[in-house]
Amino acid sequence: MHHCINRCINRLTRQIIGLWLVWLVILWGYQAAVTARYQVQRPDSALFWTAERTGDSPDRSDPFMNAQAAWDSEFYLSIALHGYNDPQARRLSSPNPPLTLNYAFYPVYPYLMRLLAYPLSLLGLTATATAMLAGLIISALGTLAGLIALASWIERNYGQEQAFRAAAYLLSFPTGFFLAQVYTEGLFVGLSFGCLALLQRRHWGWAIALAAVATLTRAVGILLLIPLGWAWGSALYQQGRLSRKLIFQFISLLIPVLVHLIWRFSFWGQAFQTVQQQFFGCQLFNLYAAAAAWRAGFSALSGSNSAATVYYAIEFSTIMLGIASCLVTLKRYPSISLYGLSVILVSTTCGTAWSVSRYLLAVPSIFIVLSQLGSSVLFDRAWSLVSILLLAMLSALFSFNFWAG
């Protein structure tokens, strides 16, 4: 029996690796084809501030896979190549000396890019192309790790067929293309889903290690303490006493907390808060500003700006999907569901009303529920058609440096 299970898992892993490879080729090939074939009319007026950033064609002096780098990619490349104090980076007008906008981004992803760029420099590409290639490799490998972890988690609960569907739905999610761009989505999915899968298999030390790295990758990484703490509390409840092993696990549970606090109160953490607030208008639980921003987004649904209408329709739809999925899984998987709800809560209450459809890639309940519904052939075909068409639209927009989330 044990041999059979291992064989099934290995087969599932091979299928996922094959799907991942095909997905990368198709997605990157599509982005190359769409930028060669389409002509777009600038500026992009999807949001009140996007027209200013898309008034002219973006500066893409290095043609190497530049369709995979837009918007926040600018900052990751800048940090990877020149550090947080890149003299060419955009800056705040205050304080003195003014901070670069690079400080609004966490360090793990761009520094991994810098590290991987050293061996990749042997390829003879320009420094920018080398950093970009490093970022794409990290994103792609992070995505693969996330796919295997998600499928492993679901396979243990529902079986191989549903596990493979979940992986396919993650890749074809409307914002799933972000997993293979110079963005943190792929790496964070790998770290967060990996943490959850390792926790399910009771590999406590590795789960803690991934959670600690995740806290320095994305702001919501610290929320992995919810499933970690739940698992520890459940173990304590089952044992009925505080054993030496549980004491050790509790102490190790403090590692992600300490990593986060050390960063939070360091110069980099303070600079992060300053740039996020002063330039990006984002602050933890900025409820008043968030309510005003989402009211404006809701008004855009019936406004005259069709680009904004489509964009916010996608945002609101994915938010509702995320909340509904977490509520559906709440009874059976409370820790996973509470983690997902917390990711949604933090993402929607920072004071801005955009990018949530991208952040929801890290909510596992969405793909658990979709994979369950996908057992219906009708739902599978309908969802796949809608999701892939939206993915094609958004990835094309991103490839032209238009706003896609």
Instruction: Tell me what pLDDT residue 7 has.
Output: 52
- Full residue range of the structural domain in which residue 86 is found: 2-399
Instruction: Tell me what pLDDT residue 93 has.
Output: 83
Instruction: Tell me what pLDDT residue 2 has.
Output: 47
Q: Assign 3-class secondary structure to 212-261.
A: HHHCCCCHHHHHHHHHHHHHHHHHHHHHCCCCHHHHHHHHHHHHHHHHHH
Instruction: Tell me what pLDDT residue 5 has.
Output: 45
Residue 309's alpha-carbon distances to 43, 293, 312, 400, in angstroms, are 16, 14, 5, 20
Domain membership of residue 8 (yes or no) is yes
Radius of gyration of the chain (CA): 21
What pTM was estimated for this model as a whole?
0.94
Gap between the Cα atoms of 242 and 239, Å rounded:
8
Domain membership of residue 387 (yes or no) is yes
The tens-digit pLDDT sequence of the chain (405 residues) is 445 445 545 889 999 999 999 999 999 999 999 999 999 889 999 998 888 887 655 555 567 778 999 999 999 999 999 999 999 999 998 777 889 999 999 999 999 999 999 999 999 999 999 999 999 999 999 999 999 999 999 999 999 999 999 999 999 999 999 999 999 999 999 999 999 999 999 999 999 999 999 999 999 999 999 999 999 999 999 888 889 999 999 999 999 999 999 999 999 999 999 999 999 989 999 999 999 999 999 999 999 999 999 999 999 999 999 999 999 999 999 999 999 999 999 999 999 999 999 999 999 999 999 999 999 999 999 999 999 999 999 999 999 999 999
Asked if 204 contacts 249 with a C-beta cutoff of 8 angstroms, the reply is: yes
Domain membership of residue 404 (yes or no) is no
> HSE-up of 150 (CA within 13 Å, CB side)?
36
> HSE-up of 51 (CA within 13 Å, CB side)?
7
Task: Count other C-beta atoms under 10 Å from residue 37's C-beta.
Answer: 8
Total domains present in the chain: 1
Cα–chain-centroid distance for residue 89? 24
> HSE-up of 119 (CA within 13 Å, CB side)?
5
Domain membership of residue 405 (yes or no) is no
Instruction: Tell me what pLDDT residue 4 has.
Output: 46
